[in-house]
Amino acid sequence: MDFHLLPLIAVAAIFILAGFVKGMIGLGLPTIAIGLLSLFMPPAQAASLLIAPSLITNLWQLSGPRLLELSRRLWPMLTGVCVGAWLGGGILTGANAGRAVMALGVALIVYALVGLSAIKLSVPRNAEVWAAPLVGIATGFITAATGVFVLPAVPYLQAIGLDKDDLIQALGLSFTVSTIALGAGLLHDGAFETRAALASIAVLIPTFIGMYAGQFARERVSPATFRRWFFLGLLALGFYLAARAVS
């Protein structure tokens, strides 16, 4: 990594922004961080920086009284995440870096369009038996390929009828497992080294600064308005990354 002053400032600013979004709406940290970091470093390197902030913030988010019950309900999806991450191993690293940027751009575009749409999905409880593993495998594969683990897990969790508090906790649980699967894949591929681990721990500071600022702003800004601009920004970033990958 090039740790001259300008890259350090850019990385810190990105994690402040990503933390702000996380504090504001409860998700978006990996999406923002990977997307913006990939503008000036390989996606695998960006994913390595993400590991500690994502793991720590999501461990905090998943804590709650219904963790065991949610784990029992979601374990097929979470197991699928691990399987999918194993199947997608190696896509994010080495000679696949160019394709990873393209995949990341496409993933951001799809996620933004889903977020901007007014479509409300619904998954019946009896359909979770077959839907959960498929969603998990797809999420794990996309995680391994792009470093972003929101699709299709987030729309699925929003569609299975969880109340607000359970949804926030379930998102934290899903993101934690996805982060661990991503870290294990990077470690296996030799892309997560000691220096990357130390840098990942260091960016916890700007991440938490952003999170506290986001929690403060959440009381003063309409979440619906913020989410709209958040998804529009992701849409623009996704198109830029996809266009850069094919140029």
171-181 pLDDT per residue, tens: 999 999 999 99
Supply the pLDDT for residue 220.
81
The SS3 assignment for 118 reads: coil
Which of 4-8, 53-57, 133-137 shows the lowest mean pLDDT across its residues? 4-8
Measured CA to CA in angstroms, residue 146 lies from 29, 136, 154, 229 at distances of 14, 15, 16, 22
Supply the pLDDT for residue 227.
81
41-66 pLDDT per residue, tens: 888 888 999 999 999 999 988 888 88
Domain range spanning residue 85? 5-246
- Number of domains present in the structure of the chain: 1
Which residues 6+ apart lie within 8 Å of 191 measured at CB?
44, 45, 47, 48, 92, 93
Measured CA to CA in angstroms, residue 178 lies from 75, 213, 233, 239 at distances of 13, 25, 24, 24
Compute and round to an integer the Cα radius of gyration of the chain.
17
